[in-house]
Amino acid sequence: MANIRAINAWSEGATGAGINVAVIDSGIHFAQPDMAGRISGASTDVVPGRLTPDGPDDHGTLVSGVIAAGFNGFGTIGVAYESTIVSIRADTSDCSDPDDDVCFKSSDLVRAIDYAIAANVKVVNMSLGGDTSMGAAFEAALLRAVNAGIVFAISAGNEGEETTGGNPEWPGRYAVDPRFAGAIIVVGAHNSADVMAAFSNRAGVAATSYLSGPGVDVITGCDGTSCYRVNGTSFSSPAVAGALALLLQAFPNLTGRQAVQILLTTAREAGAPGTDSIYGRGLLDLVKAFEPVGPTQVSMASGQGVSVTRDRFAYTGGALGDAFRNAQGGLQTVGRDDFNRLFRVDLAGSYGMAPRGAANMLPLAPRRQAHLSVAGPLGSTLSLTTGAAVEDSPWDLAESTNVITPWLDERRREDMMLEFSAGRGAVAFWQGRNGARSPFELGAGDNFAALAQVDRAWLGAVKMGAVTLTADAGVGDRAMPFQAREEDVSSYARFAADWRTSPGSRLRFAVGGLDEKMGPLGSYAPLDSGFALPSTTTFGSVGGEFALRSNLFLNAEIGWARTDLAGRFLSLSETAVSSSWALGLTTFCKQLGFACETLNWSISQPLRTESGVFSAYLADSPAGYFDDLTFSERTFSATPSGRQIDMSLGSVHRLGDGSALSLRGMVTRDDQNVRAAPTTFTLMGSWGRTF
């Protein structure tokens, strides 16, 4: 049970209850304690004139125990421990091989299959086989069963490599006969290390319909004081039969063929990648079998749908922190997979938290630059600057992509800026690629403009005495590896004023807006995923630098924003309000007697959502599997549980050779705005010299 990870199916409520599984074998011991309550009164003996369903041989009882041994506090547990066994005894002792005590005649197996059809079973296990095909009468009976919707688990045989090419025995080899394909799984055996047992017949010609189940040291046939320990594909086959019973009970919309396809599709990889001649499709795995196959389609009240995949591809902005994680079931709903199976779905789980780390916690990437200036008439200047990160540098920002922006590829950062200035005015155009950062940092509203992650930006500036007025705007694309590039998905526009109030002091103001098609405040969700949260944000910021004394300067900034959004299934019923602030002190520490040139201290709160309410109309979990869906409104707060606070202390030290050493330490509380996050400590240092 551990090897096939059956507990996952059990935890989903699957027990096999209500599913009849026929075991065509050597009969069953009706008094077997571990099978109490699990044996159908319809169990029979189809050999003419005998009428003894409880035969002397133990084989059929041991096989049945793997399927349906009870959850009764002793012995072992069957894969589908609440399924019902319809034992169909078809063995005979009149065997052509003197070494065999039990064998089966094709004519008796025909009667057994026809009895299974009449008994309305859904699954048949046949732990038997031989070297030759079973004949026209058997094939006709098998076809009748398949047409009636019955599916089969059939053992591959225990001849190992002795059979030609290691192929399964008959009737298991019928699994790939076009008449029966899709209704039969032929089953080999592996051990607890997931290695094919030496005795097991391999997949061979039946590879596309072959699974391997645990068949070494299988415990079954318990009577309260002792159990059998058995080996063979006879005991791996009923594990697959039990798995089919679990699927058919848990998902009553499935046909038998669909259940077969699910087990083959979700098999755990073994041997050579893909389908191979040893392990076929792989190892039986009930964890994967009970997960959605393909995208899960979630219905919306509007009639639209959202496709959910197991691959995490959406990230919320850092300002939202763990708000989605703390939705407390606010986004729980139901959806259907490629087999139309109904699953519980938590849409909040489709959004990952913003990647940890920030650009200011990484060393600056070495860059090469080229600059060309041309003087124009009336004192004007036209200049062109190009730059690129140094290739193979250990500090290339591209190498840290997964820390900051996992949607960017790992190509070298490159950019270009064209500037024209004349008199008191200037205009500039900048373009970058592969995550190059815009140089238009005005000292006010920069943290909001940076959320757009633009790769094209424009700026205009006019100086009017002590005041410089600027207007800048930018547009950005997003590209995650192996996915289509999303073009023009984020943009910003900003107006700012920089007022030099006195020598060494200045005051800055900025107002602007963000338009983010993927999601708010730096979020990422592909536009065609259904998880995109198109949003608009207005922001404002005020800050400045103030000389408190001749050697002491105060730096401060505070920003605020209002965000509205309307996604396919999620919107803000209450506008989200966000804030950020920073406070710092800088001094020339030589005058204080310290061995440094400058000393700076800062405390800041990165952008955080302070209020707002998300709202969604989602399908409720139906009381019955086939009930019509009803919808209800769900709401949850956009505010994260914590408030990130960064504190840092840095210094610059001039060395005797003219170089400089910079040191900086940082302490972060409630990282990513998560209250339970451990306090983090960062120490950075860099050395450089000019020449």
Q: What is the 3-state secondary structure (H, E, C) of 211-272?
A: EEEECCCEEECCCCCCCEEECCHHHHHHHHHHHHHHHHHHCCCCCHHHHHHHHHHCCECCCC
SS3 content of the chain, % helix, strand, coil (to 5): 20, 40, 40
Q: What is the DSSP string of 665-685?
A: EEEEESGGG-TTSPPEEEEEE
Q: Which of 234, 400, 529, 602 is catalytic?
A: 234
CA angle 239, 196, 64 (to 5 degrees): 20
Q: 118 in helix, strand or coil?
A: helix
Strand partners, 297: 307, 336
Q: Which of 34, 59, 106, 535 is catalytic?
A: 59
Residues with Cβ < 8 Å from 329, sequence gap 6 or more? 346, 634
Residue with tokens 């394909």: 181
Query: What gap in Å lies between CA 337 and CA 240, rounded to an integer?
Result: 22
- State the CB neighbour count (10 A cutoff) for residue 351: 25
Residue (of 511, 611, 524) closest to 563 by Cα position: 611
- State the CB neighbour count (10 A cutoff) for residue 273: 7
Hey, what amino acid is at 172?
A: G
Report yes or no: 79 and 71 within 8 Å, Cβ to Cβ.
Answer: no
Q: What is the DSSP string of 480-520?
A: -TTSPPEEEEEEEEEEEEEEEEETTEEEEEEEEEEEESS-G
- State the CB neighbour count (10 A cutoff) for residue 82: 20
- State the CB neighbour count (10 A cutoff) for residue 593: 6
Report yes or no: 87 and 28 within 8 Å, Cβ to Cβ.
Answer: yes
Q: What is the 3-state secondary structure (H, E, C) of 279-309?
A: CECCECCHHHHCCCCCCEEEEECCCCEEEEC
Q: Provide the pairing of β-strand 645-654 with 218-220.
A: unpaired
Q: Which of 25, 337, 455, 498 is catalytic?
A: 25
What phi, psi does 465 have (nearest 5°)? 65, -120
According to DSSP, residue 521 is labeled G
Say whether 234 is catalytic. Answer: yes
Q: What is the DSSP string of 135-180?
A: -HHHHHHHHHHHHTT-EEEEE--S-GGGSGGGPPPBTGGGGGSTTT
Hey, which residues are catalytic here? 25, 59, 234
